Structure 1
Amino acid sequence: MCELYVKADPILYESRSRSLRIRGVVTTLRLENQFWNILQEIAEVDGMTTNQLITKLYDELMEYRGEVVNFASFLRVSCTRFLTQREARPVPLSVVRSA
């Protein structure tokens, strides 16, 4: 079982920083490449850029909670929730029929 994890491409767990503007302030986020990939996928599904998605998540979190304690951790959890929800979605009948 552990081979599934230990054989992962090291590039996936390398961290990368990105600068973006949130509410007029330039900030830097540092996440592992795997999370940047997932955020990009979420953004594409929603018809946005990754920066637009991150800004929207920040704004909605501020509106809901009133503060952002650890935004990078919030983004990581959001990515895992997205993956969990994606796996839980039923397969469309048209896909099942074509298989």
Structure 2
Amino acid sequence: MCRLFVGADPGLWEAQTRSMRLDGMCTSVRLESFFWGVLEEIGRRDGLSLGQLLTRLARESVEAGHDLDNFASFLRVCCARYQALQLNGEIPADAAVPIADLDAAAILAREERRHSQPLTA
């Protein structure tokens, strides 16, 4: 089982630090190259550069009242959610479908219902 993970390209977990400007503030973010690739894919779906995507994520997260003390962790979770939502069929595999065109409220409601259902043996 572990061979699937251990045998992967070591470049996937090599950390890269990228400097950027988010809403006029200079910052740097350190993530593994795997996550940078997923974030670039997410941005491409909506015609956003990586910087534009990260700015939008940071701004909307703060507007929602979230504390972004660990922005890198937030971005990793965004990547994992993106892929999990694709696996669940909530985000189409077709990268030509922009994420902004999806009904986020309906997806979140379905997700909440799935999590509130009792697990069966």
TM-score of the pair, normalised by structure 2: 0.72
| RMSD of equivalent CA atoms | 1.6
Question: Are residue 58 (structure 1) and residue 42 (structure 2) matched?
Answer: no
In the alignment, which residue of structure 1 is the partner of 2:24?
24
Question: Are residue 37 (structure 1) and residue 48 (structure 2) matched?
Answer: no
In the alignment, which residue of structure 2 is the partner of 1:2?
2
**In structure 1, how many angstroms separate the alpha carbons of the residues matched to 2:80 and 2:72?**
13
**In structure 2, how many angstroms separate the alpha carbons of the residues matched to 1:65 and 1:34?**
28
TM-score of the pair, normalised by structure 1: 0.87
Alignment coverage as a number of residue pairs:
92
| Unpaired stretches in structure 1, ≥5 consecutive residues | 93-99
In the alignment, which residue of structure 2 is the partner of 1:83?
83
- Structure 2 vs 1, CA of residues 66 and 88 (structure 1 numbering), >3 Å: closer, same or farther? closer
Instruction: Give me the identity figure in percent.
Output: 43
- What's the CA shift string for 1:58-83, capped at 9, x where partnerless? 00011002531211000000000000
